[in-house]
Every structure is written in C-alpha cells, then in structure tokens.
Structure 1
Amino acid sequence: MTNQGDEITWRALKQLNLYRLVLATGLLAAFNNSEWMIFLGSQSPEAFVFTASIMLIGGLLYVVTGLRGRPNFETQIVITNASDILLITLLSHFSGGLSSSLSVLLIINVTATGTFLRDRDSFLFAALASIAVLSEQTYSMAQGISNAAEYTRAGLLGLVFFGTSFLASILSKRARESEKLAIEREADIISLEILNEDIIQNMRTGIIVVDIDGHIRLANSSAEALLGNISLQDNPLLENILPALDARFLQWQEQPYTHHKAIRQEHGLPDIQPGFRKLQRTEHETTDDDSGGTSDTLIFLEDATQLNQRFQQIKLASLGRLTASIAHEIRNPLSAINHAAQLLDEGNLSPGDKKLSSIITTQVQRLDKVIENVLQLSRQQQGNIETIELKRWLQYFCDDFLQTNKLGKDQLQLDILLDEVIILFDSSHLTQVMCNLCTNAIVHNDKALEKIKIIIRCGHDKKYDQPFIEIIDNGPEIPKKIVQQIFDPFFTTSTKGTGLGLYITKEMIESNRGKIIYTKSGDGENCFKLLFISRK
C-alpha cells in the first residue's frame, strides 16, 4: 500500500479510537445522571462503573498507540475490537442484558473489522460478537435476569452482525480497489506532468505564457536563454523584459493573422522569431465572464538565426543539385566558345571584329565566374568554429593582401582600437569574407588604383556588446534606394559583376553566427561592419 493509502487508513483508526473514548466518557456521564438513561448499571452499578472506567482507560491507551503507529495496524484493529466486544458485552450484562440494547453498539466494531480486515478475519469478529451476545443471554437466563424469548433477539442481532460484516467487507474491498486505481492514476498523472514539464523546459523553442495584463506566468529555460539568460519568474511584465516583443504581442491581439518578422536583439543576442497562440480553457474552468475562453496567450520564440540557417541549408541543397547537374553541360560549350574567340584573336581581324571578339571573351569569363560562384555557394558547409585573436590575424591578412593586390602600405591601414579581441569564427571563412569585401572596395571604386584607400578597424562595439571589424573605403556612395538589396543574390549594378559576392559573404558570416551591416563611417565613407560572437 502506498504512503497515501496508509495515511488514510491510520486516520480512520484514530477516529475509531476517539469514538471509543467518547463512548466510554458518555456512558460514565449518563450513569452519573440517572435521568438520562435509567437502565445503565441496573443489575450491577459498581461493576458497570468499573468496566466503563476500564474502557475509558483503554480508549486513552489506544489513542496513544494509534498516534505512535505501533504496534502495526492490523494488530491494533484486532486488539481494540476484541476488547470492545468483551467490554460492551459486560456493560450490556450489567445493565440488564439484551433489553438494554447496549449490544447494538457491537455493530460499529463489526463494521470496523469488516472494513479494515480481510473477509475471513472480519467474519471471525462477527462470530465472536454473536457468541458473546448468545453467551451473555445464556448466562442471564441462568441467573433469571432474562427469559428464553430474548434468544430470538440475540439470534437476529447475530444475523445483523454477519450481514453488516459482509456488506462492510464488500464496500471496503471496492473502496480499496478504487483507492488503488486512484493512486495509480494519480501516479500516472504526476509522471505525465513531470514528463511534460521536462519536455517544455528542455525543448529548443522558447515558451512564454502571458496573461491579458502582460505578466509572464510561465517560461521555459530556452526562452530565458534566447532573451539573455534572464529570469522570467515571479510574474514580471513582458514590457520590462523586451519592449519589442510586447509591442508585437499587442499588435497580434489587434491583428491575429499578421505575419511577424524577426525581432532584432542587441548585446550579441540572437534575433528571435515570435509566434502567438491563444490558450484554450477547459469547460469546467470557464466562468460566466469568460465567454468560454481564456485571457492567457502562448508565445513561441525561435532563434531566427537557426531558422535562417535551416532555410539556407534547404536552399543550398536545392541549388547544389541544380548546379551539379548543369555546370558540366554549361562549361563545355563555354570552353569551346572561349577557345574559338582566342583563335579569332590570333587572326588578322579588323578593329571592329577584334572588339566583338573581346566582348565574347569577357562575357564567357563572366558566365564562368557565375558558375564558379554558384558552385562555391552550394558546396558551403557549417563553419568549423575556431578561436581567433583578431589583432594578430588582421596583421597577417593585411600583409598578404597588400602583396597580392600590389597596393602601397599607406593604401591599406589597420586601426586596432582594442589590443585583445578574441572571436569565435572559421578562419578560412573569415579569410574569404575579408578578401571579398576588400576586393570589392578596389573593383567597385571609381578612382585610380594608387588613390584607393581602405581602412580596416577592429574593436568592441558598446551598442551591440560584440567584437567588430569595419572595412571602410573611399569608393562611390551606395544609393539609399538599393542599400536593402546589396546582399540579395544576383543583384548587381556592374556589368562585370555576378551579384553573388556580398550574398556569399553574408551567408558565410551568418553560418558562424555573426552579422554584417552596411553603414557610413564618421567621414561619410562606405563601411561594412562585421559583428562576431566573442569568447567568454
């Protein structure tokens, strides 16, 4: 039996002990006031008082043993009810036998044994009570106190004892089965509740339950992690935690079918994609004022960076299958066209024909570059995150880039604002990103090569609380109307470009959980700002 079942059973035994104590006290009080029950102790007052006193003392003793829980439960049931049968039979005899009706009190003891003991044991106590009543009647008749007619009442009382024991046993058995089933169901519900709580707390999606006033009632650990490992307990206001999310929540209440964009967070926290759903209340929880619903709302929070990465992986997989199947077929004709154009150049062509041949060669090379970029994009994999000390890494990169592109030392400046800046990034990806951006600063510059200037600045951004690299160039300003499109695939304003350089750069940075932003430097020059995850 479970602990809960033991507690209920012992509680019933304690109540039975209190009943015995009250009964003995009541009998003594009624005996002292002859106006209440004049038949009490009518045959032997002294013996009646002595027996009732023993019952009172025994009741006190049984209360103590019941509270202590020793001896065991069944032993106490047997001892207490056996003594009750004996004492109540004696009290009945000292009060005139069956005519006093005190023997009816034995029904309670028979019911108790039928409730708490097994079938055979309960019938044994019904038999003991019946024998006690018949023995008392026989002894009383031998003393001339009662007559033979009382045997009928004794026999009927014995039948009542057995019937009561039988019914109590059946009802007790069903009650125990129901109790056992209830305990098992309760254990299943508790296990299911623990399982559900564990699933909610450990799922990757952030879960927040908000009431109509904007107070957070429940939040899992993923939601706290996405919002910066802050505590969402003690019912804080959503507005105080993340005002942008609270604004989206209010907007959703007015327009439930609005598609919500990702919410950008600062201090190096990931962008979050919110989702909202009204919680349904069960029928018994509704009130007249509820209109069958509830004021609580379930908010789902997804890491927008991870979502974008999953979408990007699907896109790259599709792009990879497409490019793998057509790259070979396209490159073979392109090689043939390029070879034919070179053969034409070797002949005696007119200036006009040479110009046409040059156009063919240029466009063939451009198409080949497009194919190469698309294949490179489709082959991209998740970055191998490394620990990079930016100062040393950038010094090596600048030396290598100057030699490769034949720039003067004053044309590429390295500005280190903070000596010790350590980031988590794939070094090969970072090399390609920096090469792409610095090469763009040269290729898309309208100035002569010797007048091009590039500044690479490194430090820690206070606004975002993240390490950064800025690539600043003195090239032409990017028009505001196309700033939002420069990272789109195949978008370009140059007849020589493919429109994939910045797109590939952005994808590489985001695959390493970084960000790239186009902005203006303090002098109004073009600036691409890279934000990184720092090593804590």
Structure 2
Amino acid sequence: MALDNPSQFDPSWFAGLENTNPQGREQRLRAFVRLWRAFMRARVVIAAVLLALQVFVVATGTGGPPWLVLVCALHLSAALAVLLWSRPIQQGRPFHLQWILTLGVDVLVFAVLQYVQQGGINYTPLFALPVLLASILGPLILALLTAASVTLFLLGEALLSTQFLSDVSTARLLQTGLTGTGFFLVAVLANQLALRLAREEAVAQSSQTAARTQAQVNELVIASLSEGVLVVDPHGVVRNANPAARAMLMGDTAPHASKLLLSALPSWVGLSNLVRETFLLGHPLESEITIAHDELTKHRLYARTRLTTAQGGRDAGLCVLFLEDLRDVEAQVRTEKLASMGRMSAAVAHEIRNPLSAITQANALLDEEVMDAGQKRLIRMIDQNAQRLARIVDDILNVARAQPIQNEAAALVLPLDAAIRQITIEWTRQNQAQGVLGVHLHAPTAHVAFDPEHIRRLLVNLLDNAKRHASGTPSSIRVITQPAGTDRIRLSVWSDGAPLEASVLRHLFEPFFSSESRSSGLGLYICRELCERYGAQIAYQRTRLDQRDGNEFYVIMPAATGSRAPIQQSLSYPPGDSVPSRTLPSQLRPGDAPLTIR
C-alpha cells in the first residue's frame, strides 16, 4: 500500500485540526498510514490464525462443517488484498467501499464463525477488532454503526439459540446487552482518545517547530554579532563560541570546529582566571584582558561574565563570557569625534569666509595703488595665501554640506575621453606641466553619467596630488582611460612617486588626514565622496608602468546606459603611447622614502 498523494485525504480524527504547517501535515499523514498498515497486518494475522484453527478443527473432527475452512481462506485473501493494494480512505467518505471490504468482511466472517460454532469456542472477543478499527481510523458515526451491527447480531444470535423468555435466554440476552454496551463504550472512548492524541501531537509538532525556528534565529543572531560570545563550563572548557569570539582568541584563521580550553594557551590566562573567579564568587565580573597572538600583535578586550542557573542536577551552571574588542570602541569614539570636528570645522569655515572676502578685496584695492616692487611681492603673497584659505574653506564646506545622492538618470551623460582631454589641457596650462603629463585615452566611445564640474574636481585633485610627489621628469604623471568590461570604465592617474608609508595607507581616504602640514587633508576624501555619489569606486595600488614603479589612483565608473555606443574591447594605442603593464601592489621596501599625501 503506497501513499501517492497524502493531501487528497484527511481521515477521521485528523479532520478539523488546524494545520498551517505543510511539513507537520505530511508527518501526521505518514503516521496515519503507518497506523492503518498496522491494523491491516493485525487483520492478516487474525485471519491466518482462524484459518489454521479451522483446519485443525476439521482435521480432528471436533469442530464445525468443512466449508468454514473456505470461509477463513477467503477472509485471509481479502485481508491480504487490502494490505497490499488498498489505500487509506479519503476524508468525508465514511461509507466507502473499502470499509465494506474491511469492517464488513470482518464482522460477517466473525458472525458466521460465532453462529455455527461447535466445541464451545467463543468468537465474541474478535468483534473488538472491527470496532477499534472503525473508532481509531474512521469517524465516530462509523464506529457507532459498527458497534451497533455487532450488538444486533449478538442479540439475534442469542434469541435464536435459546428458547424465548426462558431463564437461559434471559441471562443470555442480559450478557449480550452488556457486551454490546461495552462495544459502544469502546467505540466512543477509543475515538475520543485518538482525537485527543492527534491534537496533542499537532500541538507538540507545532511547539517543536517553533522551538527549532527560535533556536535557528538565536544561532544566526549570535553568529552575526560583532561581540564575541563564549559559553564556558566550570572546568574551563568552551562549550560554544561564535565566529567573532574565535577570531578574537585565535585570529582570522581560526578553525570552525576546534575545541577550546581556556587554560591551553598562556595568552588566555586572563580569561581563564576571570571565569574561575566568576564561578567562585557566584556573581558577574568585568575586566580588560590583553590577548597576544604573537610578539607584535596584541588585542585589548573588554570581558563581561554572566552565570546561568544549574540544570539537570549539575552543581554549577555555565558561564557566558562576552568579549568586546576595544579597537572597535576606540574607532567608534574616533568617528564621533570626527563628526563633531566636521561640524565645528563647518561653523568655523562659515565664520572665516566673510573676513577672508574682505581681506581679498582690500588686497586687490591695495594692489591698484601700490607701485613699489617689494610691496607688490607682499601683495602677491597675501593673495596666494588668501586663495589657499578660500580653497580650504570650500573643501570643508563641501564635505560638511549634505549632498543628495544622484543616479545615472539625473546626472549629465558625458563623453569621458573628451572631458578628460579638456580638463588635462587646462590643468597642464595652469600648472605649467608641459611634458610632465602624459594622457592616454583608450575609451573614445565611452560615456559616463557624471556632473562636469564634479569630474573636473575629481581629476584635478588626483593630478594635484600626483604633481606634488612626482619626480617632474617627462611622463612622470600619466592619465589613462580604458574599458573595464562591457559596462564599466577605468580612469587612472599614475605618478612615479615613492611608495606610501603603511601608516598613510590605513587612513588614505579619511577626512582631515594629511602627512603634509600645508594641506587640509580633504582632497582624497572629497574624491571618494564624489565617486560614491555616482556609483563609482576609487582605490589605490602600487603599479609598474614603463619599467618604473609608481603610485596609481584609479576610478571604476559605470558606463552610461542607453546614451553611448558600444565600447570597443580591443584598444589601439596612439604612436608613442605604451600599454600600461600592471602588477600587484608591492610592499614597502627598506630604504624607500616616505610619501606625503593630501
């Protein structure tokens, strides 16, 4: 018997139960099928025993007629047929033909055996099987009908077997009535118990599913926490640890399935002592712990312990250890200080702008009246420094001013190579960098969604930074454009300057960071903000170009869709241009001179 489509039926005591979980519904249907098969096997066993009994009775001549062997053989065949080829009955079909092949056949065979019995054999207890089968696997009305049919047969059999209204018939009828009442009680109680067990099973499965879901949620939350969580027993054995805790204790390469013992490493002694003191004192503790991964790498952690209550007869519970990396706390403090500094700088910049404008105007009026060469030189110094202050004020205000995020549709679509060529020509003329700057444009059909003024500020900032640190030899600064796949463009500014210091690399694009005393430290930060506004990305790497090592700042821009021709993937370099050969960013070498960054 196979269950082809469990959703097609929902028999008897499964009916009426709310089931919003398809998996739980399928499990209950499988349980119903297993119970059905158990009853069908019981029918086969009883039919086989009855057949063997009749064969024995006929062979010894102590029983009924020989044709009862045929009846038992047919009963066994019907039971085997239902077991092997039948399916459970669909919901709402209490009078299905299958009930006749099971309950009807059983009641009929047992009735025939009971009626023609000889030798004092009583088959009445066998009627309990169809009554239980109807009560547990069928609806209540079917169980009552089965019990009623059995009771009516027993009453009729009692009336026919004795003289009416005699003492024997009265006792027989009374016994039959009690037996029928018992069958009715068995039918009702078995049906109600089956219904109650089904409901409790549904509630248990629902609770189990909710508990598993909650456990999975808890595991996901703990695994995604940036705070380390350790569960330690009184012996110092770590029962569980989330990825953040493993990374804090063993670094980024910590194995996932490794078992931890807090006393295993000398660097964990502080944590082991903290857990031990927590168990001894019986209350939470807090402390700062230093974990040394090696001689050069040390992490300061803020540890907090909490105790759980003892369960299952244990003398002590577990200690939950929370670890917080103080570097993250310090970074958050720095971020808050930086935000406060930015607001303060914006306020100061607003206050500086008005007197600075007055100084610039007064200096211009003074320049018209002064004729002495020495005084003219002083006036130019005042003008240069005033312009420098004005640029710093503009940079600070641009950083502090809230800028709406623009998408590609709102921005102007520019031909990249034409815009870069115009900007580089103006920058070369203003900075007298003829011969120093080499421009290599290899994306003639590429268009980008970028505001013209913003792309000018981006490129000018990168060129000014490159000019400050380049050697000044011919082609010591390069601007290169080229496709980066089918939907992105790469713009890079390369210079042959010295490699960056490691301390500079860590804070390269942060605001107000500069290794040069005369810089606001906002140039690269503004470049990053402009790139992020248009969905572009800016990065730095140490590359090799024309057999020379240098610093490269490159921007990956998304190509404008719907407003450009297809980008050519095969690049044709003009005469005199060299194909840039890039390598992985190199490490700092001993003797390399430090580089200052604006």
Change (3 A) 1:388 1:318: farther
Q: 3-state SS of the aligned residue for 1:532? A: strand
2:203 is equivalent to residue 177 of structure 1: no
Any conservation in 2 of the 1:21–1:59 contact (CA below 8 Å)? Answer: yes
User: Is 1:89 aligned to 2:119, yes or no?
Assistant: no
How much has 1:439 moved relative to structure 2? 3.4
- Unaligned stretches of 5+ residues in structure 2: 1-9, 11-24, 227-250, 261-266, 272-288, 292-311, 320-330, 560-568, 570-598
- Identify the residue that residue 65 of structure 2 maps to in structure 1: 45
Matches within 5 A, 1:447-458: 454-458=476-480
The answer to whether residue 439 in structure 2 is matched with residue 414 in structure 1 is yes
Answer yes or no: is the 8 Å Cα contact 1:421–1:460 preserved in 2.
no
**Aligned residue type for 1:59:** A
Q: Does 1:30 align with 2:53?
A: yes
Aligned to 1:333: 355
Asked whether the 8 Å contact 2:537–2:556 carries over to 1, the reply is yes
Higher helix share: 1
**What are the within-5 Å matches in structure 2 for residues 56-135 of structure 1?**
56-63=76-83, 66-67=86-87, 74-75=95-96, 76-77=98-99, 80-96=102-118, 99-135=120-156
Q: Which amino acid aligns with 1:371?
A: V
1:289-344 superposed Cα distances (whole Å, 9 cap, x missing partner): xx989xxxxxxxxxxxxxx9x99999998677555544443222333344455566
What code does the residue aligned with 1:432 have?
Answer: R
Question: Separation in 2 of the partners of 1:15 and 1:527?
Answer: 79
- Structure 1 residue 178: Cα displacement: 3.0
Q: What's the secondary structure of 1:514's corresponding residue? A: strand
- Provide the rounded CA distance (Å) in 2 between the counterparts of 1:395 and 1:362: 27
Q: In 2 relative to 1, CA 482–78 (structure 1 residues): closer, same or farther, beyond 3 Å?
A: closer
* Distance change >3 Å, CA 443–CA 529, structure 1 → 2: closer
Query: Is 2:533 aligned against 1:513?
Result: no
Q: Aligned to 1:45, what secondary structure does the other structure show?
A: coil
Cα deviations across residues 54-98 of structure 1 (Å, max 9, x unaligned)? 42343345446624869956522355323322321220222249x
Local SS of the residue matching 1:95: coil
Given the superposition, is the C-alpha separation of residues 524 and 156 from structure 1 closer, same or farther in structure 2, using an over 3 Å criterion?
Answer: same
- Conservation of the 8 A alpha-carbon contact between 1:509 and 1:516: no
CA contact (8 A) 1:111 1:165 kept: yes
Contact 1:110 1:125 in 2 (8 A): yes
Distance of 2:556 and 2:55 partners within structure 1? 94
CA distance in 2, matches of 1:481, 1:4: 61
Q: How many residues align?
A: 443
Change (3 A) 1:107 1:440: closer
Cα deviation 1:29-71 (Å, max 9, x = unaligned)? 12222499x7x973x3235334323423433454466248699
Matched, 1:368 2:390: yes
Distance 1:455 1:14 in 2: 85
- Offset of residue 174 of structure 1: 1.0
Aligned to 2:551: 527
Q: Secondary structure at the match of 2:39?
A: helix
Tell me the equivalent position of 1:435. 460
* Deviation for aligned residue 1:461: 11
Alignment-derived partner of residue 401 in structure 1 = 427
Alpha carbons of structure 1 residues 155 and 407: separation in structure 2 relative to 1, 3 Å: closer
> Residues 60, 444 of structure 1: CA spacing in aligned structure 2 closer, same or farther, 3 A cutoff?
closer
TM superposition shift of 1:120: 3.9
Sort the Cα spacing of 1:411 and 1:251 in 2 relative to 1 into closer, same or farther, 3 A.
farther
The equivalent residue for 1:229 is none
Shift of the 341–504 alpha-carbon distance from structure 1 to 2, 3 Å rule, reads same
Judged with a 3 Å threshold, the aligned counterparts in structure 2 of structure 1 residues 412 and 341 are, in CA distance, closer, same or farther, namely: closer
Q: Which residue of 1 aligns with 2:176?
A: 154
Q: 1:142 to 1:6 in 2, by over 3 A?
A: farther
Rounded Cα–Cα distance in structure 2 between residues aligned with 1:116 and 1:55 = 20
* Aligned pairs (5 A) from 1:418-497: 426=450, 428=452, 429-442=454-467, 454-458=476-480, 467=490, 469-472=492-495, 480=501, 483-484=504-505, 489-491=511-513, 497=519
**What amino acid sits opposite 2:102 in the alignment?**
T
| Counterpart-to-counterpart distance in 2, 1:15 and 1:136 | 31
- 70-79 vs 504-513, which deviates more? 70-79
Equivalent position SS for 2:66: helix
Question: TM-score if structure 2 supplies the norm length?
Answer: 0.56
Cα contact 2:463–2:493 (8 A) shared by 1: no
Rounded Cα–Cα distance in structure 2 between residues aligned with 1:121 and 1:424? 78
TM-score (normalizing by structure 1): 0.62
For 2:404 and 2:521, how far apart are their aligned partners in 1? 21
**1:7 & 1:348 partners in 2: Cα distance?**
104
Distance 1:327 1:167, change over 3 A: same
Note if contact 1:455-1:472 (Cα within 8 Å) is conserved in structure 2. yes
Alpha-carbon distance in structure 1 between the residues aligned to 2:77 and 2:259: 73
Task: Look up the SS of the partner of 1:112 in the other structure.
Answer: helix
What corresponds to 1:140 in structure 2?
161
Q: Does 1:501 align with 2:523?
A: yes
SS in 1 for 2:162: helix
1:366·1:498 contact (CA, 8 Å) conserved in 2? no
* 3-state SS of paired residue (1:528): strand
The one-letter code matched in structure 2 to 1:398 is T
Aligned to 2:309: none
2:424 partner amino acid:
C
* Contact preservation (8 Å) 1:423, 1:534: no
Deviations 1:444-476, CA, capped at 9 Å, x for gaps: 7797xxx875532537799xx9945233268xx
Mapped to 1, the partners of 2:123 and 2:79 lie a distance apart of: 18
User: Cα distance, 1:103 vs. partner?
Assistant: 0.9
Q: Which amino acid aligns with 1:529?
A: F
Which one-letter code corresponds to 2:134 in the other structure?
A: T
Percent pairwise identity: 23
Q: Write the distance in 1 (CA, Å) between the matches of 2:516 and 2:156.
A: 120
- Conserved 8 A contact 2:94-2:142: no
In 2, are the aligned partners of 1:14 and 1:66 still within 8 Å (CA)? no
Q: Distance in 2 between matches of 1:392 and 1:340?
A: 40
Contact (CA 8 Å) 2:144, 2:184: kept in 1 or not? Answer: yes
Q: State the one-letter code of the partner of 1:412.
A: L
